[in-house]
Chains A and B, each alone.
Chain A
Amino acid sequence: MVRMTGSQILLECLRREGIDTIFGYPGGVVLPLYDTLPEFPELRHILVRHEQGAAHMADGYARASGRIGVCLGTSGPGATNLVTGICTAWMDSTPMLVLTGNVSRTLLGKDGFQEADITGITHSITKHNYLVMKAEDIALAVREAVHIATTGRPGPVHIDIPKDVFQESAEFEWPEQINLRGYKPNTEGHPGMIRRAAELIDQAKKPIIISGHGVIWGDAHNELVELAEKAQIPVITTFLGIGGFPESHTLSYGWLGMHGMFYANRAADNADLVIGVGMRFDDRAMGRFSGFNPGVKIIHIDIDPAEIGKNFPTTVPIVGDAKNVLPRLAAQVHPQSRTEWIKWIDNERELHPSLHIRETRRLLPQYVMRSIYEETEGNATIVTGVGQHQMFAGQHYFYERPRQLISSGGLGTMGFELPGAIGAQVATPDAEVWAICGDGSFQMTLHELAVLVDERLPVKMAIFNNGYLGMVRQWQELFYDRNFVSVAVTQPDFVKLADAYGIRALRVNTKAEVHDAIRIAREYDGPILIDFQVDQEENVWPMVPAGASLSETIEAPEAELAR
């Protein structure tokens, strides 16, 4: 055993856990930790410009790679700045380790300078959290935290460490074993339930798989294809599940929900059996619960028992890891053709193509998104903000692999796109990462542009600049009688702004310039921003109005198509 300081123990543990990157921001109480950082050259520290960015970067890093993301902030305001990012990760089940410093032990609870009860604040938005009061307890806390964050249903885990614990010395011992009596996730799936599920699938005339984020976190995409193909079950995904099933597959029918494809919503609403895999029957996906497909049978496969039966009564619940459950289910179902059902959905798709981009001279955001798809040949990693552009990114890019679309679905956090893309680019340096930005959303975290320069990250940024908080404007137009209040945003000149940061930028005003601009961005080997001056009043269709059921999905009205 060796004697080490708390700081050394923490960093040594991170190193042993295979962590290579920390997104962080310094401050008084974490100075002992920063002082020690140079002793650990394997740990790359990326200095952000706001702690929210650190959390989103760690989140983007994890979503792009599947590995745990790590962020760090100082006490008080540093820690509270992390909160939005922690909650974003929590809602979308991102494995993340959040580190904060706190005031020294003797000052805890005394409301001293920059003290915040941050573990009190984060306990409901983390899978677990720790306030470590002794240097000798750090190692076990880190091991447990990483284990909890990355197993079962993943999620953020937070460790808060008082300043003097970083400075205190203790014997360092790497805990070979951890024993968490209250944490033993069930990954196997109950054999009896799997058998019953197979029977239900065999009997079903109109089954549909709804595949969620869990298929991506669980790396179960190949297993999903196997089941779908063998039993010929059409697959739709949730918004976060996009990429969990290749969208070019003949059994792929897009994604469902508030702005999902008309035919996906119709299929979910007319199925006689819904097989939910790694998803949680969220209201944005399912519409009004009481109005959803009466009489449908539901098989629900999820690693989190608490999700099962939470929103809908489940016919056959299976608690387990999709990666384990799907192959066993596939082994037991019988091959079928289901041509009639598939023809029915195909017909719906022909009647309501949903993703058709109309001919017009206007610069439509849909057209920009589709052009990015064409130019990148469907290979880019797309990271979005929140708003209309997010939905267009889901609709008009087609995704073939998991981790290709990265977006804040559960919390819907504006400002996620730039830091999220930075995290994704750090995790996957060879990937072509596009940040799809809203003009409003981008302004929430644009200061992270500096990180692109510092770290020489070739992220491509496409701002969908409609001069509005577009999604809110759409709601005001449709549900508040066009009473537009506080949605027209004044923006900086984004091209000049990028320039001020030393980042190359282009402005695109017309349709004719779109493809060229994208090509220039792709050929350029550094970060680049394109300010697309898109049509101001375009709406996202189809749409399930808030509080309506999937059967009430509305297609774009004729009048809008004529614009």
Chain B
Amino acid sequence: MSTTTTSGSRSRQNHTVHTVVAIVEDKPGVLMRVSSLFRRRGFNIESLTVGPTEERGLSRMTIVVDGESAPVEQVEKQLYKLIDVVKVSDLSQEDVVARELALIKVRCNNVNRHELLDIANVFRADIVDMATNSIILQVVGDEDKVDGLIKMCEPYGIRELSRTGRMAMVRGAKSTNVHDKEPEQIAKIHASQGRRVAGELPFSSD
């Protein structure tokens, strides 16, 4: 499988999107607080994924926001105002691995099934279900790859489509978890842009 390198900030369909990761306390209502904050401030969410982290009690949200609607600095600062948000990382300037999973149910018949299998093969998609008149493809990759496969399937008729939205992780040893100290130069940027620097978390002290 080819590894694609992506930066967290990229152009999709001619507009800039930012990838923001928020580590949040796994408490009731936290998803509503975050999504409602975006609505309230007029920040458009392209996708939002949530799941547990390596630490119990903390969840990780990967939020892709439309850069036109949202100055990423305000997004970060507003997220920090939520008491349940422990740490926010803007991956826009980072070298990240960004992935999305999609399940695509495509119409097919005995005649064209082979073509679809070939397409799946090219995209390294898995066939996870097969029936007489449909198959389900599962594909993992960045958005372009998923978009590409969807486009190829369209002529056959897509009966159902489910995409997870983007998950992202910084490459290398650096991480967005709450234990790592913020590298010095990032702490400086945060300080200079009026972001919080003191306290053990989320940033190391200046």
Chains A and B form a bound pair: yes
Interface residues as binary, A292-310 with B (CB distance below 8 Å gives 1, 0 otherwise): 0000000010001110111
B70 CB → nearest A CB, Å: 12
Chain A neighbourhood of B178, CB < 8 A: 181
Tell whether B28 is near chain A: CB-to-CB under 8 Å.
yes
Contacts A124-B40, A181-B178 given; does A305 touch B83 at CB 8 Å: no
Tell whether B152 is near chain A: CB-to-CB under 8 Å.
no
Chain A neighbourhood of B28, CB < 8 A: 131
Tell whether B160 is near chain A: CB-to-CB under 8 Å.
no
A306 to B82, CA, bound (A): 11
A120, A123, A182, A310: most-surrounded residue (chain B CB, <10 A)? A182
B100 CB → nearest A CB, Å: 27
Asked if A306 and B74 make an inter-chain contact with CB atoms under 8 angstroms apart, the answer reads yes
Chain B neighbourhood of A12, CB < 8 A: none
Nearest B residue (CB) for A190: B191
Asked if A306 and B80 make an inter-chain contact with CB atoms under 8 angstroms apart, the answer reads yes
Tell whether A148 is near chain B: CB-to-CB under 8 Å.
yes
Tell whether A188 is near chain B: CB-to-CB under 8 Å.
yes
Chain B neighbourhood of A314, CB < 8 A: 194
Asked if A184 and B40 make an inter-chain contact with CB atoms under 8 angstroms apart, the answer reads no
Chain B neighbourhood of A131, CB < 8 A: 28-29
Chain B neighbourhood of A123, CB < 8 A: 29, 32-33, 36
Chain B neighbourhood of A310, CB < 8 A: 74
Choice from B74, B84, B196 contacting A185 with Cβ under 8 Å: B196
A149 to B110, CA, bound (A): 66
A304 to B195, CA, bound (A): 9
Choice from B32, B85, B86, B191 contacting A120 with Cβ under 8 Å: B32
Asked if B199 and A184 make an inter-chain contact with CB atoms under 8 angstroms apart, the answer reads yes
Choice from A119, A120, A124, A127 contacting B83 with Cβ under 8 Å: A127
Tell whether B25 is near chain A: CB-to-CB under 8 Å.
yes
A148, A185, A190, A314: most-surrounded residue (chain B CB, <10 A)? A190
Tell whether A401 is near chain B: CB-to-CB under 8 Å.
no
Chain A neighbourhood of B87, CB < 8 A: 182
Tell whether A440 is near chain B: CB-to-CB under 8 Å.
no
Chain B neighbourhood of A300, CB < 8 A: 194
Tell whether A319 is near chain B: CB-to-CB under 8 Å.
yes
Nearest B residue (CB) for A317: B194
Tell whether B78 is near chain A: CB-to-CB under 8 Å.
yes
Contacts A181-B178, A182-B24, A184-B201 given; does A305 touch B195 at CB 8 Å: yes
A316 to B77, CA, bound (A): 17
Tell whether B161 is near chain A: CB-to-CB under 8 Å.
no
Asked if B83 and A186 make an inter-chain contact with CB atoms under 8 angstroms apart, the answer reads no
Asked if B78 and A182 make an inter-chain contact with CB atoms under 8 angstroms apart, the answer reads no
Tell whether B192 is near chain A: CB-to-CB under 8 Å.
yes
Asked if A182 and B192 make an inter-chain contact with CB atoms under 8 angstroms apart, the answer reads no
Chain B neighbourhood of A148, CB < 8 A: 83
Chain A neighbourhood of B37, CB < 8 A: 124
Nearest A residue (CB) for B178: A181
Tell whether B198 is near chain A: CB-to-CB under 8 Å.
yes
Tell whether B206 is near chain A: CB-to-CB under 8 Å.
yes
Interface residues of B in 50-90 (CB under 8 A from A): 73-74, 77-78, 80-87
B200 CB → nearest A CB, Å: 7
Interface residues as binary, B182-206 with A (CB distance below 8 Å gives 1, 0 otherwise): 0000000001111111111110001
Choice from B32, B36, B197 contacting A186 with Cβ under 8 Å: B197
Chain B neighbourhood of A191, CB < 8 A: 206
Choice from A119, A305, A318 contacting B29 with Cβ under 8 Å: A119
Choice from A181, A192, A319 contacting B194 with Cβ under 8 Å: A319
Tell whether A180 is near chain B: CB-to-CB under 8 Å.
yes
A124 to B37, CA, bound (A): 8
Asked if A190 and B84 make an inter-chain contact with CB atoms under 8 angstroms apart, the answer reads no
Tell whether A183 is near chain B: CB-to-CB under 8 Å.
yes
Asked if A306 and B81 make an inter-chain contact with CB atoms under 8 angstroms apart, the answer reads yes
Asked if A190 and B73 make an inter-chain contact with CB atoms under 8 angstroms apart, the answer reads no
A127 to B83, CA, bound (A): 8
A318 to B196, CA, bound (A): 10
Tell whether A193 is near chain B: CB-to-CB under 8 Å.
yes
Tell whether A128 is near chain B: CB-to-CB under 8 Å.
yes
Interface residues as binary, A90-133 with B (CB distance below 8 Å gives 1, 0 otherwise): 00000000000000000000000000000110011001100100
A140 to B51, CA, bound (A): 26
B66 CB → nearest A CB, Å: 19
Asked if A180 and B191 make an inter-chain contact with CB atoms under 8 angstroms apart, the answer reads no
Contacts A123-B32, A182-B85, A186-B199 given; does A306 touch B191 at CB 8 Å: no
B83, B86, B178, B202: most-surrounded residue (chain A CB, <10 A)? B83
B59 CB → nearest A CB, Å: 12
B40 CB → nearest A CB, Å: 6
Asked if B192 and A305 make an inter-chain contact with CB atoms under 8 angstroms apart, the answer reads no
Asked if A305 and B194 make an inter-chain contact with CB atoms under 8 angstroms apart, the answer reads yes
A37 to B189, CA, bound (A): 51
A317 to B80, CA, bound (A): 17
Chain B neighbourhood of A193, CB < 8 A: 191-192
A186 to B80, CA, bound (A): 12
Contacts A119-B29, A131-B28, A190-B206 given; does A180 touch B196 at CB 8 Å: no
Interface residues of B in 162-179 (CB under 8 A from A): 178
Contacts A123-B33, A124-B36, A306-B80 given; does A192 touch B191 at CB 8 Å: yes
Asked if A309 and B194 make an inter-chain contact with CB atoms under 8 angstroms apart, the answer reads yes
Asked if A304 and B199 make an inter-chain contact with CB atoms under 8 angstroms apart, the answer reads no
A100 CB → nearest B CB, Å: 16
A44 CB → nearest B CB, Å: 29
Contacts A124-B40, A306-B77 given; does A180 touch B83 at CB 8 Å: yes
Choice from A119, A184, A187, A306 contacting B78 with Cβ under 8 Å: A306
A13 to B171, CA, bound (A): 47
Interface residues as binary, A370-411 with B (CB distance below 8 Å gives 1, 0 otherwise): 000000000000000000000000000000000000000000
Choice from A119, A181, A184, A306 contacting B25 with Cβ under 8 Å: A181
Chain A neighbourhood of B196, CB < 8 A: 184-186, 305, 319
Other A-B pairs, 8, CB within 8 Å; known A186-B199, A190-B192:
A182-B80, A182-B85, A182-B86, A184-B196, A193-B192, A306-B81, A308-B193, A319-B196
The 6 closest A-B pairs by CB, nearest first: A317-B194, A308-B194, A184-B199, A306-B77, A182-B86, A186-B198
Listed A/B pairs (25) with beta-carbon separation below 8 Å: A120-B32, A123-B29, A148-B83, A181-B25, A182-B25, A182-B82, A182-B202, A184-B198, A186-B196, A190-B192, A190-B197, A305-B77, A305-B195, A305-B196, A306-B77, A306-B78, A306-B81, A308-B77, A308-B193, A309-B194, A314-B194, A317-B192, A317-B193, A319-B195, A319-B196
